Amino acid sequence: MKNPASASMTISGIRSLECSNCGKLYSHETIQTFATCCNVPLNAIYDLPFRDAQFINTALQTMWRYQPVLPVLNETNIVSLEEGFTPVSQLNKLSMHLGIHEIWLKDDAKNPTGSFKARGLSMGVSKAKELGIKKMVIPTAGNAGGALSAYCAKAEIEATVIMPRHTAETLKEECRMYGANLILLDGLIDTCGKMARSIAAETGAFDMSTMKEPYRLEGKKTLGYEIAEQFNWLLPDIIIYPAGGGTGLIGIWKAFKELLSMNLIKGILPKMVLVQSDQCSPMVHLFQEGKLPDSYAPQSSAAYGLAVPYPFATQMMLTVLRESNGIALTVSEKEMEDGIQQIAKAEGQLLSPEGAATFMAAKKLLQSQFIKEADKVLLVNTGSWYKYR
Ligand SMILES: Cc1ncc(COP(=O)(O)O)c(C=O)c1O
Ligand SMILES: [Zn+2]
C-alpha cells in the first residue's frame, strides 16, 4: 500500500518562476498564468543543492517522494490520490519480435483516473489550493478533464470542464461523477480553449489550459525523475512520447536537466521522440518543415490526447527535440489500432491509442535506422484503454 503524501516533512526548493524565452522572473508566491512578456510558458526554477539521491523520500510510493524539487511550499496543501511512481516493465516478446535489444514500458495508465494527467493536475490543484483559488476551468481532450475533476473534488474547488462532444462516454461521465460542470462543444481542444478563456474572464475561474499555468509541468516532470531513479540513474537511449500539448515531453526533459545540474545522472541524455497522429500533427510539421502547411486541416483522432491543433509550448517542444537530437514523426489511426492489438496479444497489456502510438513509432524508427538494434528504448503509455469506450 502507498503511504500518504503527508508523511513527508521536506520543503520545496522553488526559487522563482521565469519566462521560458527571456528569463524574466515572476513570483511563485502569487497566482501566475504564463509569461506575458513573451507570450510563452513559465518555468519553475529551484535551488538544487543535492549531490546524491538522499533528497528522495523513499517512504513515499508516489510522485511526492521528490518534494524538494516540486513547487508546493506547505505540505498540508498537497492534494494527492497517490499519483506517480508507476511501474516500468520490459516488453520482452515485443523486443524479441522487433529485434530491438530492450523495449521498456513506463505505464502511466496506473495512475489515479487512469492517465498521466493525474500528475499534472495533482500538482496544479495543490498549488491552486495553496494560492487560494476556489474555481477552475479546463479545456481538455478527455483525460485532463477527468483528472482535474477528481482533484478538485478532493480539494473542494469548483471545476468546469470543456470537452469535444465526440469524446468517449467514459471520459465524459467520470467528470460528472466527480461533480464537475461538464460542457460539450463541437470541435477540437482549441475550440474548448476559447470557451475556457471566456468563462475564466466572466466568472473569475482560474484557467488550467495546458502550459498556460506553471505547475502542471512540475507534476509531469516527476515522470523524468522516476525514469532516472527506476533505471538506476542510467537513462535509456531513446524515449518515445505521444505529444499533444507537450507537458510530458517538456517535463521529462526538465527533470533530466535538473538531475544533470545535481550530477545525479551522467553521460549522454536520451534522444527524445515525439509522436503524433497523422490526423493532427502540428509538431511534426514544425519540426520537419518549420511551419504549418497552407493546407493544414487538423482532424480528430482516436488518440484524443494527440488532437491538439495549436499547442502553446511549440518552442519548448522543439527545444527538447533539438537538444536531445530527437525526432518527430506521425503514425496513422490504423497503425495505432494495430499497435493496441499487437501489444495486447504479445504482452497482455491494453494501452491507450496514444501509448500504442509509441510502439508503432519504435517500429518505424527501427526501419529508418534512427533506432539501432542495440538501443534501450522506453515507451511511455500515457493512458488506459478502458477509458476510450
Ligand atoms: C492519454 C494521453 N496521452 C497523451 C496526451 C498528450 O499529452 P501532453 O499534453 O502532455 O502532450 C494526452 C492529453 O490529453 C492524453 O490524454
Ligand atoms: Zn519573456
Per-residue pLDDT tens for 163-179? 999 999 999 999 999 99
- State the Cα angle at 145 between 327 and 190, rounded to 5°: 60
Backbone Cα Rg of the chain? 19
- DSSP code, position 26: E
Is the alpha carbon torsion for 233, 382, 243, 160 positive or negative? negative
Domain total of the chain: 1
Inter-residue contact 37 to 24 (CB < 8 Å): yes
Across all residues in the chain, what is the average pLDDT? 96
245 lines ligand 1 (CB under 6 A): yes
First to last CA, the chain: 29
Best CA proximity match to 27, nearest among 12, 15, 39, 10: 15
Ligand 1 center to residue 242 CA distance, Å?
A: 7
Hey, which of 107, 115, 209, 272 would you mutate to test ligand 1's pocket, going by the most ligand atoms within 8 Å of its Cβ? 115
35 in any annotated domain = yes
- How confident is the model at residue 6, as a pLDDT? 42
Reported as half-sphere exposure (CB side, CA atoms, 13 A), residue 257 has a value of 15
Proportion of the chain above pLDDT 90, given as a percent: 96
**Atom 14 of ligand 1, nearest CA residue:** 305
With respect to residue 146, please indicate whether it lies within any of the assigned structural domains: no
Position 267 scores a pLDDT of 80
Would the CB of 57 count as within 6 Å of ligand 1?
no
Mark 365-379 as b/e (b = at least 16 C-beta within 10 Å).
bbeeebbeeebbbbb
Residue closest via CA to ligand 1's atom 9 equals 245
How far, in Å, CA of 260 to CA of 265, rounded? 5
Taking only the tens place, the pLDDT of each residue in 193-246 is 999 999 999 999 999 999 999 999 999 999 999 999 999 999 999 999 999 999
Residue 41 CA, ligand 2 centroid: distance in Å: 9
> Which H helix or E strand runs over 162?
strand 158-164
Range of the domain at 105: 1-115+213-389
CA distance linking residue 155 with residue 165, whole number of Å: 27
| DSSP β-bridge partners for residue 377 | 103, 238
pTM metric for this prediction:
0.96
Residue 242 lies in a domain: yes
Residue written as grid cell 484557467: 207
**In this structure, is residue 56 part of a structural domain?**
yes
The answer to whether 25 and 16 have CB atoms below 8 angstroms apart is: yes
d(CA 68, CA 184): 39
Integer CA distances (angstroms), 382 to 86, 209, 257, 352, 372, in order: 11, 18, 22, 7, 24
Residue 140 lies in a domain: no
- φ/ψ of 104, rounded to 5, equals -115, 155
pLDDT at 7: 41
Ligand having the closest approach to the CA of 120: 1
What CATH number is associated with residue 331? 3.40.50.1100
User: Cα-flanking dihedrals φ and ψ of residue 371, to 5°?
Assistant: -95, 135
In a domain, 199, yes or no: no
Q: What is the predicted pLDDT for the residue at 224?
A: 98
Residue 179 Cα to ligand 2 midpoint, Å, equals: 37
Q: In angstroms, what is the span from residue 80 Cα to ligand 1's centroid?
A: 20
Residue 382 C-alpha to ligand 1 middle, in angstroms?
Answer: 7
Cα dihedral across residues 94, 97, 98, 102: positive or negative: positive
Asked if residue 91 is part of any domain, the answer here is yes
In a mutational test of the pocket of ligand 1, which residue from 111, 117, 280 has the highest number of ligand atoms less than 8 Å from its CB? Answer: 117
Distance from residue 222's CA to the centre of ligand 1 (Å): 15
Ligand 1 atom showing the smallest separation from residue 143 Cα: 16
Residue 264 lies in a domain: yes
What distance in Å separates the CA atoms of residue 16 and residue 23, rounded to the nearest whole number?
11
Write down the pLDDT at residue 3.
Answer: 42
DSSP, res 3: P
Residue nearest to atom 7 of ligand 1 (CA): 244
Task: Please name the amino acid found at residue 252.
Answer: I
pLDDT at residue number 18: 98
What is the rounded CA–CA span in Å between residue 175 and residue 153?
10
Predicted pLDDT of residue 266: 82
- Is the CB of 354 within 6 Å of ligand 1? yes
Alpha-helical segments (H) within the chain: 92-98, 117-130, 143-155, 169-177, 189-203, 216-230, 247-261, 282-289, 314-323, 333-347, 353-367
Residue 145: its pLDDT value, please? 98
Write out the three cell numbers for 265: 545522472
Low-confidence stretches of the chain (pLDDT < 50) are 1-10
